[in-house]
Structure 1
């Protein structure tokens, strides 16, 4: 009887040990989420005492450690963002300085270039515009003439294609008739040969 009781105590101890390990594994898994979920889990697993919540010390230590880790991570990210912002501010300032220099040079060029250089000769902007529009007009006229010639060539090509197709059709008809005639003559020749063979027998 005593051995039976010892065996029951042993089984109870092993079962209790496995249950505690399972609870600890579930607790660690639940304490690995976001801080909000971890706090919710701690509140859910806490015991009630009057209007208070009794929280396990291990939960508080894990929450403290995770909170400090999150704070340190946020501090590091904030420092990185500050450095990045500082670098961007420096780049923006450099771009502003470059833009200011470029604008100054552009203003000088606008003032200096009242005339336009065309093939090395300075001419007024009005004459330059007239020359350019004249060149564009001539090019457009050449393009229109070329399109009309292309249209005529296309029409000629289409007519030639139609004539070729008609010629091919006529040739196919001629071949068909010649084949029929050849077959007819072949049959007549065979008939004559058959008649000649019968008469010679």
Structure 2
């Protein structure tokens, strides 16, 4: 009689019986994010713009900090409507610098506005989503433990360069790899996680 294979050391079996990576089991907010959103394909301009902006704000901070402030960010940036954010002026920057609900980093706030303008310009060239997805690799990692997950890739380096050429900022290769993971462009779910292959982009 066959016995059920025990999960590998990279995951934790939570009280609901599902195997998740350690980071996704540490906090209820992270668990919901992992279960419902992280690694799922993002195919709309507004959602992709939001992910790029939030990944830029996350640099030097934890993703949990971003999640806790996400609704405040959405309110501050009009639900990440690039047309509205592109119209922000220095007055808006000063207003945002007083908003305790978000991360008050002037350089990153200015970058979010610049990236909105860059997003609008890309509409004439096929759009932000098409550009980002054009850097999908031919293969995706197959990690069993967290330390087997890359922090960047040739594709994230190339995407970073392409976005910078189009006027984006705070889009370094490591930041862009994290964004590619979050939006399903690569699948770095651990092999023993119940979410592996759930995006439909990559096999399990």
TM-score range, shorter chain: under 0.3
For the pair shown, which has the larger CA radius of gyration, 1 or 2? 1
- Structure in which a larger fraction of residues adopt strand: 1
> TM-score w.r.t. structure 2 length?
0.20
Task: Compute the TM-score of the two structures, normalised by the length of structure 1.
Answer: 0.20
RCO greater where, 1 or 2, for CA within 8 Å and sep 6 or more?
Answer: 2
Compare the two structures and name the one with the higher helix fraction: 1
